[in-house]
Structure 1
Amino acid sequence: MRSRHRLFTAGIAAIAAARADRWLHHLARGLGIVLMFHHVRPRRNVAFAPNQLLEITPEFLIAILVELRREGFDIVPIAAVPDRLRSDRRARPFAVLTFDDGYRDNVEYAWPILRQYESPWTIFVTAEFADGRGRLWWLELEQAIGELDRVVISRNGKLLSLPSRTLDEKQAAFDAVYRQLRAGPMERLRTVTAELASQAGISTDGLAAQFCLSWAELQDLAREPDVTIGAHTLSHPVLAKLHTTAAAREIAESKVLLERRLGRPIRHFAYPFGDRSSAGEREFRLVRNSGFATAMTSRPGHLFPYHADHLNALPRVSINGLFQNRAALRALFSGVPFLLWNRGRVAEIET
């Protein structure tokens, strides 16, 4: 995880130094871009924050909106994406703002800014988080390792014991456990994080209610014309790890439940995690069969005309909280990092 961050930092620095975001953007920039956010809140004064990549400050959100307009992007609602992808290539580029999981800070800190800048936005809601009973296991893992001096879990019948006293040890332990759990079954992931939380004396009850919007709050939000609410499954699993029947239920029933609770059609979906190991052709088919108009992955890239034929597998650009600076934004908005990532192709087919 840290090696990827170092590579990203070096890449952004190289693009900025060569001004590649200026002279290559006409080749790399697509018709539009879908930005992916999670938390928006004031900077936390904590030493150990391995999930910091999932949060940006309100001030940086303002910088994003200013930079989008400076670069000539129209900020449009998610419902406009299909038509914009079929529009004339000479049209102004567009940007869509999406927020995953349904965090309360999106309303508390992001929405006033978005309203001030007249920017429509979409929030993808995990139903069990709105119930107050979902498992924010990545937060459980962060809090547990933050408290523990040693992290002990079983692995293939053997104990894995990792020191966790210093900040470097804690980060290394978090990276190792996170990587191992993501590679295994969902049942083990949730069991292990619950066990670590118990060892650290941390209760897993109430985290969703603490950090995520309730149904009552979502019902109020659903009445706002500048807000679109989308589905993000029932329980936020890695869909690719589930049996087809279970994956179909997570997708289809999240739509039905949100429509029933909010009294609004739910036309848009985001895959939890959303990378290639989390969602593929089977999941894309299940989403299409469930009647969603669009679905968002987290595969990185801009939107191009051919994405009009792949509306159930659209790429997004994650706004990483570790890189809150204008150089990173200019590079991402130019499309140049994705041109390099895809080895000279403007984009990678998302199926």
Structure 2
Amino acid sequence: MLKRAIISAGLYGSDLVRAHAWARFARGRGVILTFHHVRPSPPEGFSPNRLLEITPEFLGTVLDTLDALGFEIVPLDEVPSRLAGPEPERPFCVLTFDDGYRDNREHAAPILAARDAPWTLFVTRDFALGRGRFWWRELEEAVRRSPRIRHDGLDLPAGTDAEKARAYETLYWRLRAGPEDVLRATTRRLAEAAGVDVAALSAEACLGFDEIAALARDPRVTLGAHTLTHPMLAKHDVETARREIAESRAALAGATGREIRHLAFPVGDPGSAGPREFALAREAGFATAVTTRPGHLFAEHAAHPHALPRVSVNGLHQSAGALRALLSGLPLLAWNRGRRVVAA
């Protein structure tokens, strides 16, 4: 909660001083934006993953704001040349959508098509096959349906929305800190004990390969790989990580007939993807690989195309002011302690 308050203060403070108008040094050459769900707002109450979704209306606000600030929306394919080439007259922006959600086609695609905006959809193979594990949703549904959560010495009340939020945050971060097999086993056990149909979570949420192939017939749509099973790669041995990266590219290309040149690391923070994973993405032949490490793109990133930062469009901050602050680059450069490239 404190971390979110600090982020909010940074965003709204940056907009208050109109950083987008004067902090050109922080903006860099461009930015890659990250989205997940695009759909109407959920009901108020317990919604711990609300940060992963924005409304269709706010997606329109994002496009309006990019236009007002002079950003040019470009395909991900253009990023390497724009980083290596001369300083552009206008900053560029790339729009990326992770996981392959059905609502991206239903709600985002029509808005993007109406603006003739190119975008990238990163696809996890098992999600497209309807057999993936949305462990964060498993945990959410377990907490939603349970009056108490018990695990490994924890006994957390979960009767009210506030108690559920605290229980979710406590268990989420404890599990994230440990081995991924323990995390997945725990969320499955808790979800199934609460009556959750674990298998249905990804099957209902994500596009199948036939639907993805049809969507990709639009020349504005670029497809990218997002591994086979959506693991935190750095928590696994090198052969597992290599297979997740390389075989996901082959699986997506085979299912869609499209060339797959780009990779998004699942979760994408330093605990999930680091120098080893960047090297594996390069070894697998990807032109770029993107993280969730926050930051804008500078010319120096031309030397690190497999460790590109992105800026998450957070569903908890759906305002033009917060977006202007992110697009200024100033709060992100401050977050990175003045470092333009963070690839270690």
Q: State yes or no: 1:211 paired with 2:193.
A: no
DSSP-derived class of the 2:289 partner: strand
Q: State yes or no: 1:330 paired with 2:319.
A: no
Q: State yes or no: 1:298 paired with 2:297.
A: no
Q: State yes or no: 1:8 paired with 2:7.
A: yes
Match of 2:100 among 96, 99, 102: 102
- Partner residue, 1:117: 115
- Partner residue, 1:18: 17
Match of 2:248 among 237, 247, 254: 254
1:184, CA displacement in angstroms? 1.0
The answer on whether the counterparts of 2:300 and 2:341 sit within 8 Å (CA) in structure 1 is no
Match of 1:58 among 56, 59, 77: 56
Q: 1:1-351 alignment to 2 at 5 Å?
A: 2-23=1-22, 25-154=23-152, 159-345=153-339, 347-351=340-344
The answer on whether the counterparts of 2:288 and 2:306 sit within 8 Å (CA) in structure 1 is yes
DSSP-derived class of the 1:298 partner: strand
1:334, CA displacement in angstroms? 0.7
DSSP-derived class of the 1:206 partner: helix
Looking at structure 2, the residues matched to 209 and 5 of structure 1 have their Cα atoms a distance apart, in angstroms, of: 31
DSSP-derived class of the 1:324 partner: coil
The answer on whether the counterparts of 2:37 and 2:53 sit within 8 Å (CA) in structure 1 is yes
Looking at structure 1, the residues matched to 237 and 343 of structure 2 have their Cα atoms a distance apart, in angstroms, of: 22
The answer on whether the counterparts of 2:82 and 2:88 sit within 8 Å (CA) in structure 1 is no
DSSP-derived class of the 2:326 partner: helix
1:46, CA displacement in angstroms? 4.1
1:224, CA displacement in angstroms? 1.5
Looking at structure 2, the residues matched to 260 and 342 of structure 1 have their Cα atoms a distance apart, in angstroms, of: 39
Looking at structure 2, the residues matched to 344 and 218 of structure 1 have their Cα atoms a distance apart, in angstroms, of: 39
DSSP-derived class of the 2:199 partner: coil
Deviations 1:240-288 (A, max 9, x none): 0001011101000000111111111110000001011110010001110
Given residue 109 of structure 2, which amino acid in structure 1 is its aligned partner? Answer: W
TM-score (norm 1): 0.96
1:206, CA displacement in angstroms? 1.5
Deviations 1:148-207 (A, max 9, x none): 1100112xxxx2111111111111110011101111111111110011112211110121
DSSP-derived class of the 1:205 partner: helix
Given residue 22 of structure 1, which amino acid in structure 2 is its aligned partner? Answer: A
DSSP-derived class of the 2:172 partner: helix
Unpaired segments ≥5 residues, structure 1: none
DSSP-derived class of the 2:14 partner: helix
Deviations 1:283-330 (A, max 9, x none): 001110000000000000100001111000000000000000011111
Given residue 205 of structure 2, which amino acid in structure 1 is its aligned partner? Answer: F
Looking at structure 2, the residues matched to 167 and 289 of structure 1 have their Cα atoms a distance apart, in angstroms, of: 46
Deviations 1:206-249 (A, max 9, x none): 21110000011011112220101100000000000001011101
Unpaired segments ≥5 residues, structure 2: none
Looking at structure 1, the residues matched to 114 and 273 of structure 2 have their Cα atoms a distance apart, in angstroms, of: 35
State the number of aligned residues. Answer: 344
1:20, CA displacement in angstroms? 3.0
Deviations 1:79-104 (A, max 9, x none): 01011112221421100000000100
Which is further off, 88-97 or 129-138? 88-97
Aligned residues: CA RMSD: 1.0
DSSP-derived class of the 2:85 partner: coil
Looking at structure 2, the residues matched to 330 and 138 of structure 1 have their Cα atoms a distance apart, in angstroms, of: 29
1:16, CA displacement in angstroms? 2.5
Looking at structure 2, the residues matched to 294 and 216 of structure 1 have their Cα atoms a distance apart, in angstroms, of: 25
Deviations 1:13-71 (A, max 9, x none): 22223333322x22211101000000000001141100000000000000000100110
Looking at structure 1, the residues matched to 118 and 96 of structure 2 have their Cα atoms a distance apart, in angstroms, of: 9
